[in-house]
Amino acid sequence: MAEALKLELVSPEKELVSRQVKAVQVPGLEGAFEVLPGHAPVLSILRPGVLGITEVSGTETKFFVRGGYVEVAGDEMSVLAEYAIPVEQLNPAQIEQEIRWAQEDLEDARNDEERRKLQERLDFLQALADALKQEA
C-alpha cells in the first residue's frame, strides 16, 4: 500500500491543491468520511463543510467547500468544488454581518425569483458560519 495519496482540489477559479498527502477528511453528502492511501474507489457529492487535509508532514490544512464532488481511484483523489476557500481566510464577524444583511434583503425581496436567489445566498453564508463553529 502506498504511503501517500495524490490530491487534486480544484474550484472554478483555480487549482488549490495538487500534492501528495497522508489523508483527507471529506464532508460527503451521506456523511463525513476519511480517505487514506489504498482507499476503495468512491464517488461522492460534497455537502457544505470543511475538507481537512493531513499533509505528509503531519500538519493539517482545512478548506471550506460547497457543492461539487469527490472521486477516489487507486491512490489518486480529485475534489471538484463549486466553491473552496482556506478556512483561515474566513472572517467570522464579517460572515455574521453578511448573514444579517442577507436576512434583511430576503425580507425585502420583491418576487419569487429574487427570494430564491437571496435564500441561496443566505443558506451559503449559514453553511460558512456553521463550518467555522465546528472548527472552533
Residues of the chain under the 50 pLDDT cut: none
Look up residue 52 and give its amino acid: G
Segments making up each domain of the chain, as ranges: 5-88, 90-135
Q: Using CA atoms, how far apart are residues 94 and 16, in angstroms rounded to an integer?
A: 23
Q: Residue 90's CB: how many other CB atoms inside 10 A? A: 16
pLDDT at 49: 87
What value, to the nearest 5°, has the Cα angle with vertex 8 and ends 4 and 12? 165
The predicted structure's pLDDT at residue 130: 86
Q: Which CATH number fits domain 5-88: 2.40.50.140, 2.60.15.10, 3.30.930.10, 3.10.20.90?
A: 2.60.15.10
Q: Which segments within 87-134 are labelled E, that is strand?
A: none
Q: What is the pLDDT of residue 128?
A: 85
- Angle between helix axes 92-107 and 112-135 (nearest 10 degrees) is 160
pLDDT score recorded for residue 90: 86
Residues 62-87 have pLDDT tens digits of: 999 988 999 999 899 999 999 999 99
Question: What's the length of the chain?
Answer: 136
pLDDT at 134: 76
Could you give the C-alpha distances from 76 to 38, 40, 119, 135, in angstroms and in order? 9, 11, 36, 26
CA gyration radius, the chain: 17
Q: What pLDDT, on a 0 to 100 scale, did the predictor assign at position 132?
A: 80
**Would you state the pLDDT for residue 136?**
64
CA dihedral (6, 60, 121, 31) in degrees, to 10, reads 70
